[in-house]
Amino acid sequence: MDTEQLWILRVIGEAEPKHYVEWACEQLCAGVDSPSLRILAGLNPKTDTKEMETFFLRTCSELKLDQLIEEASPMVMAQSIWNAFESGALTAKEAISRLAKVLIVGDFSELNVFSSMHDELSEAERNGYYYPPEYLEDLDSAFRLEWTLFLRAQKLKLPTDFLGFHQCASCGHFDEALILDSAIELLGMEFCRGVYKYCMACGSGVLNKMIIPKVRDAYFTKLEKEQLRDEQFARDI
Ligand SMILES: [Zn+2]
């Protein structure tokens, strides 16, 4: 139980009394010392979390571990979870389930593919309702791939709800502009999404969902090129 792990568990509300004791013992073994740390290490793991937290906060102020008390931003949390996976402290499955919980606020909720992965992993029978199951067979690779897509997504101006888009299997067109504003006004967004079945560029009915990593990779590549071109254009004027 290293410091970063305990920090993540506390922020997502999964820290159990035994985690505090384990952490305190490891700190003492590593030569760290303070009066409250000694008490924490000696507490019965059956003590309730509230009492653990009291001694934990005292320990932090004695040791000046401000990082452990501050509220972390979701991105800092996400990065810590990734680091924990990289160092072998968390499995891909554990890291995915923690990211799914951490990234539910603000702009991140639109990018939270980890939540779809987590939902698919929780299904007894994986039928691809949440996430393409064939990618989950090698979970470490899938997680690494999703992490790089997540980092790329941070840098892009993505339309809200882009995860509901499709890419045409025949011509590669993305359906980002398929629904006319006037039609949405008239019929409502849900209805428009429900009736749309064909590629507006070529008429093909074979469409791939944005939740497929390969489709998002292609979409992000397209947006990255457009964004770069816009930036260059802005610099030239
Ligand atoms: Zn098409």
Domain that holds residue 78: 74-154
167 and 217 in one domain? yes
166 and 118 in one domain? no
185 and 124 in one domain? no
What pTM was computed for the model?
Answer: 0.70
Task: Determine contact, residues 77/68, Cβ cutoff 8 Å.
Answer: no
149 and 85 in one domain? yes
54 and 19 in one domain? yes
Residue where a domain terminates, one of 44, 68, 92: 68
147 and 78 in one domain? yes
Q: How many domains does the chain have?
A: 3
The rounded Å distance from CA 178 to ligand 1 centre is 11
170 and 139 in one domain? no
169 and 127 in one domain? no
One-letter amino acid for residue 39 of the chain? I
Distance CA 128, CA 208 (A): 13
The rounded Å distance from CA 174 to ligand 1 centre is 8
The rounded Å distance from CA 131 to ligand 1 centre is 23
The rounded Å distance from CA 157 to ligand 1 centre is 24
Q: What is the mean pLDDT of each run of 10 residues along the chain (237 residues)?
A: 78 84 95 94 89 89 75 77 88 91 69 90 90 95 96 87 87 72 62 63 84 95 92 84
- The pLDDT value recorded for residue 68 is 63
Task: Tell me the two tokens of residue 214.
Answer: 């390969």
- The pLDDT value recorded for residue 145 is 97
The rounded Å distance from CA 154 to ligand 1 centre is 28
The rounded Å distance from CA 206 to ligand 1 centre is 8
197 and 127 in one domain? no
